[in-house]
Amino acid sequence: MQISCSVLGLAAVIAWPLFSSVIAGRVRRQSPLKYDLPDGADLIVGPYTTNFRCPETYGFFADVENNCRLFHLCHPLPRDNGNSHAVPIQVQHYTFFCGNETIFDQLSLSCSYPEDSIPCENSPDFFYLNDNFGSEGPSVTDEDLARVQTLVAKYDQTALNK
């Protein structure tokens, strides 16, 4: 009887992570402790932190803590097939880096030179643009561009004053 109890206990330990990931309302994040970047990535982008956690929404996100040298693709897997409003049970997290002294521009969702990008520290102000994926309208509106113009003008003025 003691052997069967220990086997049952072992089965419970093995099954718990599988069961706990499907409890209603619980989201399991697939975020590695260390980003899965190619060997030597730190030689290109310099030292980096691994603190970014994906939100429960789809999109590309600049990593401000890493000066936008890294960016992340977050992909929630819905609980119910085809229901985009279902609570995700898992968020897949992919990390990429920009090379050649470029940074991730949250407006264009591409790597570009800092002088051609929105200021990195303002990237979270444009995370909402990810909501435009799958919509039939423009991905960037005139209002978005007006916001960028204001930021770039302030950024350029600050750079001139240094």
- DSSP secondary structure, 64-109, as one string: GGGTTSEEEEEEEEESSTT-TTSPEEEEEEEEEE--TT-EEETTTT
User: Is residue 69 packed enough to be buried (19+ CB in 10 Å), middle (13-18) or exposed (0-12)?
Assistant: buried
Residues 141 and 111: their CA atoms lie apart, in Å, by 20
User: Using one digit for the tens of pLDDT, what is the confidence trace for 15-27?
Assistant: 333 333 333 333 4
Residues 74 and 61: their CA atoms lie apart, in Å, by 8
Name the pTM for this structure.
0.68
User: Using one digit for the tens of pLDDT, what is the confidence trace for 60-89?
Assistant: 999 999 999 999 999 998 766 566 566 657
Helices (H), 21-62: 41-45
User: Using one digit for the tens of pLDDT, what is the confidence trace for 102-150?
Assistant: 999 999 999 999 999 999 999 999 999 999 998 888 888 889 988 888 8
Question: Up-side HSE of residue 116: CA atoms within 13 Å toward CB?
Answer: 10
Judge contact between 69 and 103, C-beta under 8 A: yes
